[in-house]
């Protein structure tokens, strides 16, 4: 069984072999194959978006995806929610001595397939190896570059009282999948991670309405944390309606048993949007025509309250105030 | 004593506190402070260079630098050797639970200072935390973006028989420093890492001569590995003259004792150039006027031999063939 050794991180013969046999083979494109210390992009226009993320998820393979697919989709999503067209990604691998090369190749193939689907090129990379017990199989950094085709301001400055909050589908699937895998919880459920790239869904949305004022993918910290972030420093608040928030029954049941709140659980293929009241229905219809948005729903609205709060109206008409996540109940979900 | 906990990686309150108190405070610039999922660069022109590197060096503080300075200088150097002007850097931190926050801050300040000196902005970042025993204090990924002001081809296609090989200073200082620190070898030497950004030295060189055909910073694998990489697939070879290669006496002595070859030891502030015979002296003079190039020397030349080899003429007029590094004798030097 071939495994990663410290020599694969030496920058010498074994590093080159690995790069040739695994990385160049699967990521092959003309920019990467320049093989320079930097990769040169000949012509990129004016305004660009740049984002970086490291992925340390455990386990590295899970129902619905793996660390490779996650690393590409996550970075593509971060670019796309800014309104950018994702184009280029760099990858940095930190591998633990002993990682099986067949696992590495499976991850790399998964990255190559995700990149192909997203229309992005992997243009530069780096390989480091740490001793056994100084890592956990593999960590991946992806940095993405995208370009803008329109001038729509999605930073949230256009948000107004009355605007609707939309989520693209069921919440908590990713986090609960990872938890069940890791703790070997056998709930006999069919839950799998929603890990996916949302750039085409976002493209559809932006084509439908110019009154989309904010888009973000709901990842670490769940919907509550994401909305609370948006509201920071804002002179208005959000009211969410629990009954309207799409959550799978099995996810809801597992959360109940374990004492988790699905509004704090991570997703890797879900969006939250803030859209004018007028355009909300139109946007929902567009989203439901895309498989990744088929459970899209209006879940709340912007209200006058000046505190920058996020309120949750419960089914029995109570009101809770939601804050950012405090403790990390399910660490390393991305 | 404040330490990093898993909650700092949750994406919630503690992550935001850390970002505000440490990262935004020291890396403060208008692009980073957009605080979006992506950072938007308003206007970047035409041809750009992109490079990525992860840093896993152990120890994280060492004579002459630390992992933070290294991560900025390394990425700046990778851009600069391509002929690009370094402009923007993204940073991804993977921290081990238990890392002292004062150590993190020291590293971040060191990165901020290095970025300031290099004229680059840190425009986006990411923070992940792994459990104790799943990392080693801190790993950093830096991805850099630069732009081109000239059209000089530094990919090596212009290399010709007779061209001179120049190195910018003494070899092996970085690797031997790290080794001595790590193994607590007490050689009572004054060796420190050469960790530094070389973009200004490169700027001087490119202003002096259009006949510079290749520049690379000599890092992992040392001069031998770097030159062997350049020669891959080339219809010519290199001859190096051992007597002309600048190596500190103490580095040379330690290598002798430990059985290492300084030509395979890593550097973090040294360049190798390939320059036309005519221009070599002029370039050497320019380099020697910069403190980072004061020991610059011609160490060899391109010869007719078709094998793409790297030969070393020893002091007693023997000839050895140099190859890429095979085993990693000093792992995690960057």
Checking if the pLDDT of A45 tops 80, the result is no
| Closest listed residue to residue A328, CA positions, set A270, A265, A285, A239 | A265
Pick the residue of B10, B46, B154 with the most A CBs within 10 A to test the interface with A by mutation.
Answer: B10
Q: Is A332 within 8 Å of chain B by CB?
A: yes
CA distance B33 to chain A (A): 12
Checking if the pLDDT of A186 tops 80, the result is no
Nearest CB neighbour to B326, from listed A13, A38, A50: A13
**Where in chain A are all domains bearing CATH 3.30.1330.10?**
6-148
Nearest CB neighbour to A141, from listed B141, B219, B324: B141
For chain B, give the mean pLDDT: 96
Checking if the pLDDT of B150 tops 90, the result is no
% of chain B at pLDDT higher than 70: 100
**Where in chain B are all domains bearing CATH 3.90.650.10?**
164-322
Compute the distance between CA of residue A29 and CA of residue A33 in angstroms, rounded to an integer.
6
Give kind and range of the element (H or E) at residue A202.
Answer: helix A199-208
Q: Are B109 and A311 in contact, with CB atoms under 8 Å apart?
A: no
Checking if the pLDDT of A235 tops 90, the result is yes
**CATH number for the segment(s) A6-148:** 3.30.1330.10
Q: What is the pLDDT of residues A124-138, one digit of tens each?
A: 999 999 999 999 999
Report, as an integer, the average pLDDT of B270-274: 98
Contact B128 A40 (CB under 8 A): no
Instruction: Enumerate the β-bridge partners of residue B217.
Output: B271
Q: Alpha carbon of A231 to those of A177, A224, A280: distances in Å?
A: 29, 11, 20
Contact A332 B130 (CB under 8 A): yes
Contact B38 A53 (CB under 8 A): no
Checking if the pLDDT of B122 tops 70, the result is yes
Q: Are B13 and A325 in contact, with CB atoms under 8 Å apart?
A: yes
A226 half-sphere exposure, CB direction, 13 A CA radius: 27
Q: Is A40 within 8 Å of chain B by CB?
A: yes
**In b/e form, how buried is each residue of A223-246, taking b as 16+ CB within 10 angstroms?**
bbbbbbbbbeebebbbbbbbeebb
Nearest CB neighbour to B328, from listed A9, A79, A217: A9
If pLDDT is split at 50, 70 and 90, which confidence band does B17 have?
A: very high
**pLDDT for res A34:** 92
If pLDDT is split at 50, 70 and 90, which confidence band does B95 have?
A: very high
Nearest CB neighbour to A11, from listed B9, B79, B221: B221
Residues in contact with B111: Cβ distance below 8 Å, sequence separation at least 6, in sequence order: B26, B27, B68, B69, B71, B72, B91, B122
Hunting for tokens 């006496």 — which residue is that?
B249
Q: What is the pLDDT of residues A83-133, one digit of tens each?
A: 999 999 999 999 999 999 999 999 999 999 999 999 999 999 999 999 999
Q: Is the ipTM reported for this complex over the cut 0.95?
A: yes
Q: Is A93 within 8 Å of chain B by CB?
A: yes
Report, as an integer, the average pLDDT of B160-180: 97
Compute the distance between CA of residue A311 and CA of residue A224 in angstroms, rounded to an integer.
9
Residues in contact with B307: Cβ distance below 8 Å, sequence separation at least 6, in sequence order: B237
**pLDDT for res B1:** 67
Checking if the pLDDT of B185 tops 90, the result is no
Report, as an integer, the average pLDDT of A136-142: 98
Q: Is A134 within 8 Å of chain B by CB?
A: yes
Q: What is the pLDDT of residues B133-142, one digit of tens each?
A: 999 999 999 9
Checking if the pLDDT of B301 tops 90, the result is yes
Q: Closest chain A residue to B37 measured between Cα atoms?
A: A78
**pLDDT for res A190:** 87
Least confident of A237-241, B26-30, B74-78, B148-152: B148-152
Checking if the pLDDT of A257 tops 70, the result is yes
Q: What is the pLDDT of residues B226-238, one digit of tens each?
A: 999 999 989 999 9
Checking if the pLDDT of A168 tops 70, the result is yes
Q: Is B168 within 8 Å of chain A by CB?
A: no
Pairing of strands A237-241, A319-322: unpaired
B49 φ, ψ (degrees, to nearest 5): -115, 140
- Residues 189-248 in B contacting A (C-alpha not used; CB under 8 Å): 216-217, 219-221, 225, 229
Q: Are A198 and A168 in contact, with CB atoms under 8 Å apart?
A: yes
Contact A155 B130 (CB under 8 A): no
Nearest CB neighbour to A16, from listed B36, B217, B324: B324
Q: Closest chain B residue to A151 measured between Cα atoms?
A: B42
Could you say which architecture CATH assigns to the domain A164-322? Alpha-Beta Complex (3.90)
- Ramachandran sector of residue A33 (left: φ over 0; alpha: ψ -120 to 50; beta: rest): alpha
Contact A10 B327 (CB under 8 A): yes
DSSP calls for A47-107: -EEEEEEEE--SSSEETTEEHHHHHHHHHHHHHHHTTEEEEEEEEEEEEETT-BHHHHHHH
Q: Give the burial class of A253: count Cβ atoms within 10 A of its Cβ; 0-12 exposed, 13-18 middle, 19 or more buried.
A: middle
DSSP strand E in chain B: where? 39-41, 48-55, 61-62, 65-66, 84-96, 121-130, 138-148, 164-167, 212-217, 237-241, 271-275, 297-303, 310-313, 319-322
CA distance A314 to chain B (A): 23
Contact A42 B41 (CB under 8 A): no
DSSP B64: T
Residues in contact with A20: Cβ distance below 8 Å, sequence separation at least 6, in sequence order: none
DSSP calls for B83-147: TEEEEEEEEEEEEETT-BHHHHHHHHHHHHHHHHHHT-EEEEEEEEEE-TTSS-SEEEEEEEEEE
């Amino acid at each position: 069984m071939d495994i990663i050794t410290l020599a694969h991180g030496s920058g010498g013969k074994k590093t080159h072999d690995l790069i040739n046999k695994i990385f160049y083979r699967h990521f092959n494109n003309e920019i990467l194959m320049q093989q320079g210390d930097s990769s040169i992009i000949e012509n990129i226009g004016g305004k660009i978006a740049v984002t970086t993320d490291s992925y340390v998820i455990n386990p590295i393979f899970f129902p619905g995806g793996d660390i490779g697919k996650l690393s590409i989709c996550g970075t593509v999503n971060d670019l796309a929610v800014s309104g950018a067209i994702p184009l280029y990604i760099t990858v940095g691998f930190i591998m633990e001595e002993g990682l099986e090369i067949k696992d590495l190749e499976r991850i790399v193939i998964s990255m190559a397939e995700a990149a192909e689907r997203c229309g992005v090129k992997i243009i530069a990379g780096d390989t480091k190896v740490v001793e056994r017990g100084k890592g956990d199989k593999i960590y991946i950094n992806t940095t993405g570059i995208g370009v803008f085709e329109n001038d729509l301001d999605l930073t949230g400055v256009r948000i107004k009282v009355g605007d609707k909050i939309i989520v693209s589908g069921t919440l908590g699937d990713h986090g609960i999948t990872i938890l069940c895998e890791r703790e070997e919880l056998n709930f006999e459920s069919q839950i799998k991670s929603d890990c996916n790239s949302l750039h085409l869904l976002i493209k559809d949305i932006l084509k439908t309405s110019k009154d989309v004022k904010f888009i973000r993918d709901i990842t670490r910290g769940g919907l509550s944390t994401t909305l609370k972030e948006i509201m920071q420093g804002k002179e208005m608040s959000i009211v969410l309606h629990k009954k309207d928030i799409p959550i799978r029954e099995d996810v809801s049941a597992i959360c109940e048993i374990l004492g988790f709140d699905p509004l704090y659980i991570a997703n890797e293929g879900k969006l939250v949007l803030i859209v004018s009241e007028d355009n909300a229905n139109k946007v929902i219809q567009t989203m439901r025509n895309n498989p990744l948005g088929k459970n899209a729903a209006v879940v709340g609205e912007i209200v006058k309250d000046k505190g920058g709060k996020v309120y949750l109206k419960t089914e029995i008409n109570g009101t809770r105030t939601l804050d950012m996540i405090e403790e990390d109940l399910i660490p390393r979900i991305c």
